[in-house]
């Protein structure tokens, strides 16, 4: 484990709050003070988090819509090609191309592609699975999934984490920790 | 990918017994290989597969693979006992003798001796073209007469049996038994080893022993030499007989068949003073009265009778009218316009009553006299009788009365008198000198022989009759007697009950392995030629009889040829080089001009009848109590076909029983006995029937239309021989049978036994539930355009509204369709066996039938209507009707059943995954599913008889009637190569070809002149389940009943 | 899916061992013997059929009748034990292929069997998959030739193959079908 | 600390007469109490049940092996009864599956608070039911080794395709989609809980396993933002999916021409039936589960009562379906239809099944008109059980009974299941139970995260109200 390869560890300031409200408040303030790379860590979605972090509109819905539409079109095209174009067979003298018979599969495929795209789209957006993340270095971070409310700030190069930590402390009742990405 | 999954057999298109399941599932697993040189050899000898023999060997190896398990390997070894390996030698030797054995003419491909096929690939015979079938004419008969056959053969392996159109009794059709011959030929259970007291014996040793024997008998003129043969009309047999009797003047021949009736011979003798036999001409008969005669269902005349009878069932032309008097429903009874149920014993009473009734009418005084001889014995509803009488008088000269084989001499005599009085003799019935060797050949004929044996007057008994130890009347204890005969020489088809007690067992060559000759019922002679070398070195009865003339080493072929060479002159028009004449005879299958003409000057001796009657009636069965009546079974006859799975699984034409016989009783009798019915009308109480000192346990079956206080028992079951299929099926009704009253007698005690019996019925439901799938109407109604019946017919063929235009097939060259005439169909069920044979349909066994998994593609539905005690019956053959808008097709997920360009509803076995959805959605329920692997354990030898043109279906695959598409495609290719169209009538489906009544028409609906198009345009035409809009290609023609106004109900 | 499409999976393009060194090149090219001399049922039966030993000896009783190469043939003829060839072209057991109709309507041997006249040992040239059959059954034109030329290994339509095909289809009354029962029964 | 009788007003939702969460709970207390059973080594009860389940599974293995080895002939099916136990069980299981999706998806869309404590449970049930269902379409075919892929549209060397007019092909798509979506939906909801499992696990092995499953979830606000949407959308998709799936299953019958199958009322009536049987199944499992897993404080009587109300409602819909069937059979004037319903089903050899169905599905649910019944554990459990039986009988009626006597009396046959049929059926119940018990052991049976969220919301509201009261 040499410190070679010009490895630049990311540094984080992590504050744990008593409850969601305090956390939200601090988040907002820190953002107003021009901190960019903020993120919160909570056991359950906290109301107003988007606004506090200043996030835009969610992207998932668009992705899912595309998926669904693709599915429907794909289904119809598939059936049309197979039963009408490539090998039309006289089945019980029914019309070779009969739209009503295609509807069920169109629907199913649109749901399938819609659904899968929502899941895998989400994974892509969240960059998960990601087994390691520097914030896990924090002592008490394990509470984040149980009852802890955290705010993490990635400290840009050139800035000193201590300063940021101090700044955070000055804002509210919080226990602050500074962690550094470990090389792997 | 699936299309190339390896199948043990897939790699030789020239392998003709496509005897592994189709589709690829069958080939899973790595089969163990065991080498069966004997299998290879023996079958190589029998098989003349084309192409490289390697394929053939590979084929047999793959059989070995199939039978890779030790158990099966052992079985395979058993198939080929020691001695089998020398088969090829035997064949080749006899081949040298047989060489040049006749060639076919009359549109039949050239014929060649079967033995040459033992050595196929080194020198290929001229006429063998790989993959093209040949056809050979021959003949076969159950009751002494021969029915002309044409046998299809693929590279020397008989694969299908058809009727010979030029034959007087066949007219191109066959019955159930002929169709099933193939199974008898390729039957592993056949007797294979010549034995003396279980010591294997070579043919030569046998011959020498026979020589010494006959030497000994010659000393005393054969005083202790007896022959027990089947009833036969074969000229060659008669000739041998004559010569044997010349050599052994004191020897005796006895003809015996347990199903032959002696009443006719004696009755006619009484009437005409000498033995004559009756011949019936139904075409000329407009009123037919059957007295317990099942002339449509059984007997040497039945195939022709059906065609002739059916000819008179068209409402367009003058129709015939059939009255039937019988105890239990028969094929004839089902076709009757009026049926009177009477105990078999009361039929005599009916005959006399009818005679008396006619006697009261002007001009029939003579009959009155005869009737008076009956001393007041009478039976039957007077109203009915008088109606029949009037009808008979009305059609004087064109009426016909037939008495059944079971009936006594008295009945036959009276019937003869009636026919004479009604001027029918010479028109609808003629009398001729008997063709059969012995006029009397029924159970009674056996009694004298039995006495002689008992008295120790028989040293040597040569038995070529079928299984007397089993079929003989119980009181003779014939099996015990046989054991006492020092030299009982049994010509055994199987190691059956008789073989078990005979000192010599000579394996019989199968009819399709034998040379010989036979006579039709009009005397026309057919030559019988072999289609294949004896599979297990069997010998013909000719050779055995020959042994007593010191000609045992002569082959049957030689004996036959010699005798005909000598007789050539006697045949009118048979002039010229004998070889050519011979070849024509063999090729045609009939020797034209050999029919015998009926006796011209016969005078009925009324007085004799009048005197004779009393005695006869007195001798006949009488007394009170329940009547037991025996019938030859519709499937196994007297047991001789009991080892044919096709016939065992064939639903009984009337009661739809498979793999069983039953005690048939009337509903009323069932009630009085307290017979219980469980499950879905297919589980019945078991009865104990006691008669004299004999008793049997017999499961009851309620038979609508059966006479009360009478039990009908079918013979031929409860076999105990070494026949794997036959043994243990049903019960042996024969144990009740006495030689004094072999057919029926009263005084049986019947009681309920404990326990129930579950029948393998293919149809448990009697009623049509007011749905009228099979339409029958009276002539009167049919002729009235405004009648309900006519409206129903109209409605069931009217065009139905549809949301999208039906596909247009009129542009196609062919548009296949079928028409089935319910007016003609008698329900005889020959078509089912034909279909089974043509399409390699497996049999599934009793348990599977019970579960409702029978595989026959074609079924014949039977419905009762009216009151249960005396119902009207209608039968309806039903296979896939090839709907144009087939419900089965659109539900199949994999395109395994679709429509062809010519409108066939195709079933693609190798694509089918077996969801069974198609069957669920088929309103006719004509699809069949391979629930288990029904095919892969088919014995190697059995596969030789399979149709190479039809894929054998694997487990988990749906199958159904294809309109014999393999025949269509072959004919199409042949005609297209020849650059012409298929003509109407040159293409027949298997069912159509076998149908004796000619009830089935098949052909091209785009050809306006074709028979099927005409049939479908008939006024009686209607579509089954028409209201569902399935547009079936098979149309039905309603049955029209020609009712007698005097009797018409309501 | 791809695997099934490789020549290997289809047993193509691999010469097959035979019990004796029979060389089609020699017989067809050098001696100019017509295919139908040996495969003499090809135009009247489903099977082209592999010739009986007797047929080999028609010639080889005269020519090369001492050649050791032909020992197996003589042996087969003398002790009546057939020659055991190895099959090259296999169709599944549920497929009913009929040579006579194809030959009769002008499909050349070479179309399916390739340049047999250039093969020392015969090898499978075509996949024989259902898809492959269908191609031709859907539009046969490009595979048609005058019936007189069916055994010609080198025949080529002069001019536009498609066009001449159409003419021939007309002339030979070619009527290909894709209904299942055409091949599956 | 699982459940304390004294319900503190702090967490009382004024709109909810009965509290959804009982006792004073903190996030941590909930966490420990709800995950407790995962850490606790299973008790005797669990082991005995698991043993039984495994035995059942064994039966399944035997049954399936025999079927594949010898063929469908080992079942009771015949001609005419081409479909029987196989499809009956298929439909039955699918139906059961549906309730799960509905509970979690629809209730989520309707913002039903009481959903949270049972949705995880229900989703798991869906998943396992669908697994059981999926088994049947495959093994019921004659040649599964082909059915497995010939129904899929792939470019084969035969150049032939599936036949898309066949409802069976629709089924393939519907059921496989349904399984995939249910799985994703379930797993997505599970991720945060897996994270809390990871973080509260004591042993390193557990930590790594749950860690992997949690995919490195760190409750990031940015993630939550998208996550909520994704979850909502999946729910949104699942709802119509459920309806479509059972509609398509009903097409298998409705599209045919068989009397008793050929009915337009099928789609809605099948869906209703599905929910009906599904909720019944949830109750059958929930009643004992909440007992043994100590979930009484989250799965309260209120939840059970609500479910019983749904059972009552859907039961009435099903009854309406039956009424319609019979009415149309008479009104259509089709003799086949009429005989099917008024002869074959009511009086035929299989009538007992029909009447049992009528009792279980039409009579029994009406007991839930009474609050006593709705809130009595024993009564509701028995009733739910009966409903499950009834719904199985319904499928038997529709499939086997309709088939065994259709158009032509000549081919009417009885149907009787064999031991293989039974062992496979019981076997799937074994499979279901096995999976379910494993689920109960290794995964939080209740959506911890959502309960915490709910608690937080409720606390908030309560707080608000408290202030109003003061002011």
| Segment D428-446 mean pLDDT | 89
Give residue B791's pLDDT band: very low, low, confident or very high (50, 70, 90).
Answer: very high
Spell out the per-residue pLDDT of chain C, length 185, in tens.
Answer: 667 777 777 777 778 777 788 888 888 888 888 999 888 889 888 888 888 888 888 888 888 888 888 888 888 888 877 777 888 888 888 999 999 999 999 999 999 999 998 888 888 888 889 999 999 999 898 899 999 999 998 888 888 878 888 898 888 889 899 999 999 98
Residues of D with Cβ-Cβ distance to C1 under 8 angstroms? 154-156
| Segment D34-40 mean pLDDT | 77
| Segment D250-269 mean pLDDT | 93
Give residue D20's pLDDT band: very low, low, confident or very high (50, 70, 90).
Answer: low
Task: Compute how many other C-beta atoms are within 10 angstroms of the C-beta atom of residue C156.
Answer: 10
d(CA B428, CA B422): 11
Residue partners of A62: CB distance under 8 A and separation at least 6 = none
Task: Compute how many other C-beta atoms are within 10 angstroms of the C-beta atom of residue B912.
Answer: 31
Q: Do B898 and A90 touch (CB under 8 A)?
A: yes
| CA-wise closest residue to A24 among A8, A10, A45, A7 | A45
d(CA B908, CA B18): 16
pLDDT score recorded for residue B50: 30
Task: Compute how many other C-beta atoms are within 10 angstroms of the C-beta atom of residue D252.
Answer: 25
pLDDT tens across A137-152, in order? 888 888 888 888 888 8
pLDDT score recorded for residue B47: 38
Report which secondary-structure segment, H or E, holds B163: strand B157-163
Q: Sign of dihedral through CA atoms D338, D343, D346, D348?
A: negative
Structure tokens at B970: 């072959």
Q: Do D157 and C134 touch (CB under 8 A)?
A: no
Percentage of residues of chain B with pLDDT beyond 70: 88
Which is higher by pLDDT, B724 or C161?
A: B724
Give D343-351 contacts, CB < 8 A, sequence gap 24+.
D344/D260, D344/D401, D344/D402, D344/D404, D344/D405, D345/D260, D345/D397, D345/D401, D348/D401, D348/D404, D348/D405, D349/B680, D349/D404, D349/D414, D350/D396, D350/D397, D350/D400, D350/D401, D350/D404, D350/D415
d(CA B782, CA B793): 10
pLDDT tens across B292-314, in order? 999 999 999 999 999 999 999 99
Which is higher by pLDDT, A159 or B874?
A: B874
d(CA B351, CA B374): 10
State chain D's mean pLDDT as an integer: 87
Give residue D455's pLDDT band: very low, low, confident or very high (50, 70, 90).
Answer: confident
Distances (CA, A) of B944 to A33, B8, B47, B127, B188: 95, 16, 8, 20, 12
| Segment D295-300 mean pLDDT | 76
Q: Hey, which chains touch B, using 3+ CB pairs under 8 Å? A: A, C, D
Q: Do B919 and D79 touch (CB under 8 A)?
A: yes
Residue B645: exposed, middle, or buried by beta-carbon count in 10 A (0-12, 13-18, 19+)?
A: buried
pLDDT score recorded for residue D16: 46
Query: Is the confidence at residue B622, as pLDDT, over 80?
Result: no
Q: Sign of dihedral through CA atoms B771, B774, B780, B786?
A: positive
Q: Sign of dihedral through CA atoms B835, B841, B842, B845?
A: negative
Q: What is the 3-state secondary structure (H, E, C) of chain D?
A: CCCCCCCCHHHCCCCCCCCCCCCCCCHHHHHHHHHHHHHCCCCHHHHHHHHHHHHHHHHHHHHHHHHHHHCHHHCCCCCCCCCCHHHHHHHHHHHHHHHHHHHHHHHHHCCCHHHHHHHHHHHHHHHHHHHHHHHHHHHCCCCHHHHHHHCCCCCCCCCCCCCCCCHHHHHHHHHHHHHHHHHHHHHHHHHHHHHHHHHHCCCHHHHHHHHHHHCCCCCEHHHHHHHHHHHHHHHHHHHHHHHHHHHHHHHHHHCCCCCCCCCCCHHHHHHHHHHHHHHHHHHHHHHHHHHHCCCCCCCCHHHHHHHHHHHHHHHHHHHHHHHHHHHHHHHCCCHHHHHHHHHHHHHCCCHHHHHHHHHHHHHHHHHHHCHHHHHCHHHHHHHHHHHHHHHHHHHHHHHHHHHHCCCCHHHCCCCCCCHHHHHHHHHHHHHHHHHHHHHHHHCCCCCHHHHHHHHHHHHHHHHHHHHHHHC
Contact B589, B516 (CB under 8 A): no
Structure tokens at D100: 């799960």
Distances (CA, A) of B805 to A93, B802, B809, B1023: 9, 7, 12, 20
Query: Is the confidence at residue B849, as pLDDT, over 70?
Result: yes
Q: Do D142 and B861 touch (CB under 8 A)?
A: no
Query: Is the confidence at residue B646, as pLDDT, over 50?
Result: yes
pLDDT score recorded for residue D24: 65
Q: Do D173 and A142 touch (CB under 8 A)?
A: no
Query: Is the confidence at residue A4, as pLDDT, over 60?
Result: no
Residues of D with Cβ-Cβ distance to A112 under 8 angstroms? 173, 176-177, 180-181
Q: Do C1 and D159 touch (CB under 8 A)?
A: no
The number of CA neighbours under 13 Å toward the Cβ of B112 is 20
pLDDT score recorded for residue B615: 84
Strand partners, B158: B153
Q: Report strand pairing: B897-899 vs B872-878.
A: unpaired
Residues of D with Cβ-Cβ distance to B891 under 8 angstroms? 166-168, 255-256
Contact B849, B831 (CB under 8 A): no
Structure tokens at C105: 């309507």
Chain B nearest C-alpha distance from C103 (Å): 9
pLDDT score recorded for residue B125: 66
| Segment B67-71 mean pLDDT | 34
| Segment A158-183 mean pLDDT | 83
Q: DSSP states of B221-244 as a string?
A: TTTTEEEEE-----HHHHHHHHHH
pLDDT score recorded for residue B127: 66
Under DSSP, the state recorded for B880 is: -
Query: Is the confidence at residue B78, as pLDDT, over 60?
Result: no
Residues of D with Cβ-Cβ distance to A133 under 8 angstroms? 216, 218
Q: Which of B883, B899, B1031 sits opposite A91 (nearest CB)?
A: B899
Report which secondary-structure segment, H or E, holds B463: strand B460-463
Give residue D18's pLDDT band: very low, low, confident or very high (50, 70, 90).
Answer: low
Structure tokens at B550: 């010191």
Give residue B101's pLDDT band: very low, low, confident or very high (50, 70, 90).
Answer: very low
pLDDT score recorded for residue D19: 54
How many Cβ pairs closer than 8 A exist between chain A and D? Answer: 199
Q: Which of B23, B851, B920 sits opposite D258 (nearest CB)?
A: B920
State chain B's mean pLDDT as an integer: 85
pLDDT score recorded for residue B1049: 62
pLDDT tens across D305-321, in order? 988 999 999 999 999 99
Residue partners of B408: CB distance under 8 A and separation at least 6 = B263, B267, B348, B616, B617, B620
Give residue D13's pLDDT band: very low, low, confident or very high (50, 70, 90).
Answer: very low
Residue tagged 């988090």 (tokens): A49
Give residue B553's pLDDT band: very low, low, confident or very high (50, 70, 90).
Answer: confident
pLDDT tens across B882-903, in order? 999 999 999 999 999 999 999 9
| Segment B103-110 mean pLDDT | 27
pLDDT tens across B824-838, in order? 999 999 999 999 999
The number of CA neighbours under 13 Å toward the Cβ of C53 is 23
Under DSSP, the state recorded for B100 is: T
Terminal CA-CA length for chain C: 27
pLDDT score recorded for residue B780: 93
| Segment A65-80 mean pLDDT | 95
Residue partners of B309: CB distance under 8 A and separation at least 6 = B282, B288, B296, B320, B322, B335, B826, B997
Q: Report strand pairing: B905-907 vs B859-865.
A: unpaired
pLDDT tens across C62-89, in order? 888 888 888 888 888 888 777 778 888 8
d(CA B366, CA B375): 16
pLDDT score recorded for residue B122: 63
d(CA B961, CA B340): 37
Per mean pLDDT, which range of B829-833, B965-969, D115-119 is the poorest?
D115-119
d(CA B630, CA B625): 16
């Amino acid at each position: 484990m040499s410190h070679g390869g010009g490895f630049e560890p990311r540094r984080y300031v992590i504050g744990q709050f008593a409850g969601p409200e305090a956390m939200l408040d601090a988040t907002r303030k820190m953002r107003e003070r021009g901190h960019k790379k903020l993120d919160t860590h909570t056991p359950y979605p906290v109301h107003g988090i988007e606004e506090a972090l200043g996030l835009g509109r969610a992207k998932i819905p668009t992705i899912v819509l595309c998926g669904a539409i693709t599915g429907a079109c794909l289904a119809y095209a598939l059936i049309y090609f197979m039963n009408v174009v490539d090998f039309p067979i006289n089945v019980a003298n029914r019309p070779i191309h009969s739209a009503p018979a295609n509807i069920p599969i169109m629907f199913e495929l649109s749901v399938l592609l819609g659904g899968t795209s929502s899941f895998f789209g989400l994974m892509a957006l969240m960059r998960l699975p990601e087994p390691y993340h520097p914030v896990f270095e924090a002592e008490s971070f394990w509470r984040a999934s149980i009852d802890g409310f955290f705010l993490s700030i990635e400290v840009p190069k050139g800035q000193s984490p201590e300063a940021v930590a101090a700044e955070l402390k000055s804002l509210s009742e919080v226990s602050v920790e500074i962690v550094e990405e470990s090389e792997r | 990918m699936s299309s190339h999954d390896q199948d043990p057999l897939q790699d030789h298109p020239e392998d003709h017994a496509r005897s592994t399941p189709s589709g690829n599932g069958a080939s899973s697993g790595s089969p163990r290989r065991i080498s069966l040189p004997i299998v290879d050899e023996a079958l190589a000898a029998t098989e003349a597969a084309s192409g490289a023999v390697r394929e053939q060997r590979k084929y047999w190896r793959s059989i070995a693979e199939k039978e890779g398990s030790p158990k099966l390997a052992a079985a395979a070894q058993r198939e080929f006992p020691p001695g089998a390996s020398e088969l090829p030698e035997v064949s080749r030797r006899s081949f040298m003798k047989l060489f040049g054995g006749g060639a076919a003419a009359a549109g039949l491909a050239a014929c060649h001796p079967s033995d040459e096929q033992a050595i196929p690939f080194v020198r290929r015979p001229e006429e063998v073209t790989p993959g093209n079938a040949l056809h050979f004419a021959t003949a076969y008969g159950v009751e002494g007469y021969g029915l002309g056959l044409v046998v299809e053969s693929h590279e020397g392996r008989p694969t299908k049996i058809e009727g010979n159109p030029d034959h007087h009794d066949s007219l191109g059709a066959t019955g159930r038994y002929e169709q099933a011959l193939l199974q008898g030929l390729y039957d592993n259970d056949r007797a294979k080893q010549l034995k003396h007291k279980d010591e294997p014996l070579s043919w030569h040793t046998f011959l020498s022993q026979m020589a010494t024997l006959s030497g000994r008998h010659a000393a005393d003129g054969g005083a202790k030499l007896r022959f027990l043969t089947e009833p036969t009309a074969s000229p060659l047999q008669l000739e041998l007989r004559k010569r044997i009797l010349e050599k052994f003047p004191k020897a005796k021949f006895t003809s015996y068949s347990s199903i032959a009736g002696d009443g006719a011979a004696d009755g006619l003798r009484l009437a005409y003073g000498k033995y004559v036999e009756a011949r019936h001409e139904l075409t000329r008969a407009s009123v037919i009265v059957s007295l317990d005669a099942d002339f449509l269902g059984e007997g040497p005349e039945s195939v022709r009778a059906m065609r002739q009878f059916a000819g008179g069932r068209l409402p367009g032309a003058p129709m015939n009218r059939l009255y039937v008097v019988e105890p239990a429903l028969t094929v004839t009874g089902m076709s009757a316009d009026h049926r009177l149920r009477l105990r078999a014993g009361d039929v005599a009473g009916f005959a006399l009553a009818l005679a008396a009734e006619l006697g009261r009418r002007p001009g029939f005084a003579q009959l009155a006299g005869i009737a008076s001889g009956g001393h007041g014995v009478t039976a039957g509803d007077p109203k009915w009788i008088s109606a029949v009488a009037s009808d008979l008088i009305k059609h004087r000269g064109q009426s016909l009365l037939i008495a059944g084989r079971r009936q006594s001499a008295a009945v036959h005599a009276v019937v003869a008198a009636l026919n004479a009085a009604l001027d029918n003799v010479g028109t609808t019935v003629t009398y001729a000198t008997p063709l059969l060797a012995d006029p009397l050949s029924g159970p009674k004929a056996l009694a004298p022989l039995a006495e002689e044996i008992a008295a120790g007057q028989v040293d040597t008994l040569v038995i070529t009759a079928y299984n007397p130890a089993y079929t003989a009347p119980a009181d003779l204890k014939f099996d015990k007697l046989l054991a006492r005969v020092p030299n009982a020489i049994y010509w055994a088809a199987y190691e059956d009950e008789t073989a078990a007690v005979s000192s010599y067992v000579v394996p019989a060559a199968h009819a399709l392995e034998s040379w010989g000759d036979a006579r039709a019922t009009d005397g026309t002679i057919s030559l019988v030629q072999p289609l294949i070398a004896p599979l297990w070195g069997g010998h013909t009865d000719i050779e055995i009889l020959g042994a007593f003339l010191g000609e045992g080493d002569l082959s049957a072929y030689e004996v036959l040829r010699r005798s005909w060479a000598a007789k050539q002159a006697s045949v009118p028009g048979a002039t010229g080089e004998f070889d050519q004449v011979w070849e024509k005879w063999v090729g045609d299958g009939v020797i034209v001009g050999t029919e015998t003409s009926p006796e011209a000057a016969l005078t009925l001796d009324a007085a004799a009848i009048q005197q004779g009657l009393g005695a006869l009636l007195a001798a006949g069965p009488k007394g009170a109590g329940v009547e037991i009546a025996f019938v030859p079974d519709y499937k196994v006859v007297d047991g001789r076909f009991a080892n044919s799975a096709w016939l065992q699984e064939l639903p009984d034409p009337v009661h739809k029983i498979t793999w069983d016989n039953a005690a048939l009783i009337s509903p009323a009798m069932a009630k009085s006995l307290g017979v219980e019915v469980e499950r879905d009308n297919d589980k019945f109480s078991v009865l104990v029937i006691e008669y004299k000192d004999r008793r049997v346990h017999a499961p009851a079956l309620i038979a609508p239309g059966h006479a009360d206080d009478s039990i009908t028992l079918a013979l031929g079951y409860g076999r105990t021989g070494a026949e794997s299929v036959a043994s243990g099926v049903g019960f042996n009704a024969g144990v009740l049978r006495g030689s004094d009253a072999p057919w029926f007698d009263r005084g049986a005690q019947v009681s309920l036994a404990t326990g129930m019996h579950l029948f393998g019925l293919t149809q448990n439901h009697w009623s049509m539930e007011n749905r009228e799938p099979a339409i029958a109407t009276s002539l009167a109604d049919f002729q009235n355009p405004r009648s309900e019946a006519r409206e129903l017919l109209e409605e069931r063929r009217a065009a139905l509204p549809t949301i999208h235009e039906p596909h247009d097939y009129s542009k196609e060259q062919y548009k296949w369709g079928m028409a089935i005439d319910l007016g003609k169909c008698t329900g005889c069920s020959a078509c089912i066996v034909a279909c089974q044979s043509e399409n390699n349909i497996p049999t599934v066994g009793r348990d599977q039938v019970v579960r409702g998994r029978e595989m026959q593609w074609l079924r014949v539905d039977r419905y009762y209507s009216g009151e249960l005690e005396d119902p009207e019956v209608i039968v309806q053959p039903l296979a896939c009707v090839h709907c144009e808008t087939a419900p089965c097709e659109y539900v199949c997920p994999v395109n395994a059943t679709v429509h062809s360009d010519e409108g066939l509803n195709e079933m693609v076995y190798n694509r089918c995954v077996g969801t069974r959805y198609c069957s669920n959605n088929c309103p006719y329920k004509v699809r069949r599913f391979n629930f288990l692997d029904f095919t892969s354990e088919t014995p190697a030898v059995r596969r030789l008889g399979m149709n190479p043109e039809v894929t054998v279906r694997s487990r988990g695959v749906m199958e159904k009637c294809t309109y014999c598409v393999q025949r269509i495609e072959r004919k199409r290719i042949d005609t297209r190569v020849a650059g012409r169209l298929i003509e109407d009538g040159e293409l027949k489906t298997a069912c159509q070809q076998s149908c004796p009544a000619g009830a089935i028409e098949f052909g091209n609906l785009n050809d306006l002149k074709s028979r099927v198009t005409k049939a479908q345009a008939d006024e009686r035409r209607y579509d089954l389940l028409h209201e569902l809009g399935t547009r079936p290609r098979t149309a039905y023609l309603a049955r029209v009943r020609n009712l007698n106004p005097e009797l018409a109900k309501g | 899916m791809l695997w099934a499409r490789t020549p290997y999976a289809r047993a193509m393009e691999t010469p097959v061992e035979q019990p004796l060194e029979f060389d089609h090149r020699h017989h067809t090219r050098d001696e100019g013997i017509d295919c139908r001399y040996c495969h003499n049922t090809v135009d009247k039966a489903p099977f082209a059929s592999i010739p009986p030993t007797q047929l080999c000896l028609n010639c080889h009783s005269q020519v090369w009748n001492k050649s050791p190469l032909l020992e197996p043939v003589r042996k087969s003829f003398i002790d009546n034990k057939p020659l055991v060839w190895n099959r090259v072209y296999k169709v599944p057991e549920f497929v009913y292929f009929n040579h006579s109709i194809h030959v009769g309507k002008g499909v050349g041997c070479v179309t399916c069997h390739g340049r047999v006249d250039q093969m020392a040992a015969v090898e499978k040239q075509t996949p024989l998959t259902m898809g492959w059959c269908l191609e031709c059954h859907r539009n046969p034109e490009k595979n048609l030739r005058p019936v007189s030329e069916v055994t010609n290994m080198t025949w080529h339509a002069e001019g536009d193959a498609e066009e001449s095909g159409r003419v021939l289809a007309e002339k030979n009354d070619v009527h290909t079908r894709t209904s299942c029962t055409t091949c599956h029964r | 600390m699982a459940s304390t009788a004294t319900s503190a007003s702090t967490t009382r939702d004024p709109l909810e007469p009965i509290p959804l969460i009982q006792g004073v709970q903190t996030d941590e207390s909930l966490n420990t109490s709800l995950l407790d059973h995962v850490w606790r080594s299973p008790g005797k009860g669990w082991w005995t049940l698991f043993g039984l389940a495994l035995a059942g599974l064994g039966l399944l293995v035997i049954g399936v092996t025999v079927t594949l080895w010898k063929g469908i002939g080992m079942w009771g099916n015949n001609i005419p009864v081409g479909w029987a136990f196989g499809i009956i069980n298929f439909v039955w299981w699918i139906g059961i599956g549906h309730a799960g999706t509905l509970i979690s998806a629809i209730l989520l869309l309707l913002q039903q608070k009481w959903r949270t404590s049972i949705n995880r449970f229900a989703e798991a049930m869906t998943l396992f039911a669908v697994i059981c269902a999926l088994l049947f379409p495959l093994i019921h075919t004659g040649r599964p080794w082909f059915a497995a892929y010939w129904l899929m549209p792939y470019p084969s060397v035969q150049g032939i395709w599936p036949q898309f007019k066949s409802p069976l092909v629709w089924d393939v798509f519907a059921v496989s989609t349904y399984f995939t979506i249910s799985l994703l939906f379930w797993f997505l909801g599970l991720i945060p809980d897996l994270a809390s499992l990871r973080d509260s696990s004591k042993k390193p092995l557990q930590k790594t396993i749950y860690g992997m499953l949690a995919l490195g979830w760190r409750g990031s606000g940015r993630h939550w933002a998208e996550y909520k949407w994704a979850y909502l959308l999946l729910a949104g998709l699942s709802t119509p999916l459920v309806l479509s799936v059972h509609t398509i299953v009903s097409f298998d019958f409705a599209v045919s021409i068989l009397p008793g199958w050929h009915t337009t009322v099928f789609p809605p009536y099948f869906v209703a039936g599905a929910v009906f049987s599904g909720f019944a199944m949830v109750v059958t499992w929930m009643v004992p589960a909440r007992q043994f897993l100590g979930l009484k404080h989250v799965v309260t009587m209120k939840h059970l009562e609500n479910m019983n109300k749904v059972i009552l409602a859907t039961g009435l819909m099903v009854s309406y379906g039956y009424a319609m069937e019979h009415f149309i059979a008479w009104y259509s004037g089709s003799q086949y239809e009429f005989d099917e319903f008024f002869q074959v089903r009511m009086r035929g050899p299989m009538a007992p099944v029909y009447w049992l169905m009528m009792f279980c599905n039409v009579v029994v649910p009406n007991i839930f008109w009474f609050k006593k019944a709705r809130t009595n554990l024993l009564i509701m459990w028995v009733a739910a059980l009966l409903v499950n039986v009834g719904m199985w009988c319904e499928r038997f009626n529709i499939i086997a009974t309709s088939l065994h006597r259709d158009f032509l009396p000549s081919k009417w046959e009885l149907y009787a299941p064999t031991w293989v049929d039974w062992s496979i059926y019981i076997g799937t119940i074994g499979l279901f139970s096995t999976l379910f018990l494993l689920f109960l052991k290794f995964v939080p049976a209740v959506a911890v995260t959502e309960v915490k969220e709910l608690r937080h919301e409720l606390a908030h509201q309560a707080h608000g109200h408290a202030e109003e009261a003061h002011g």
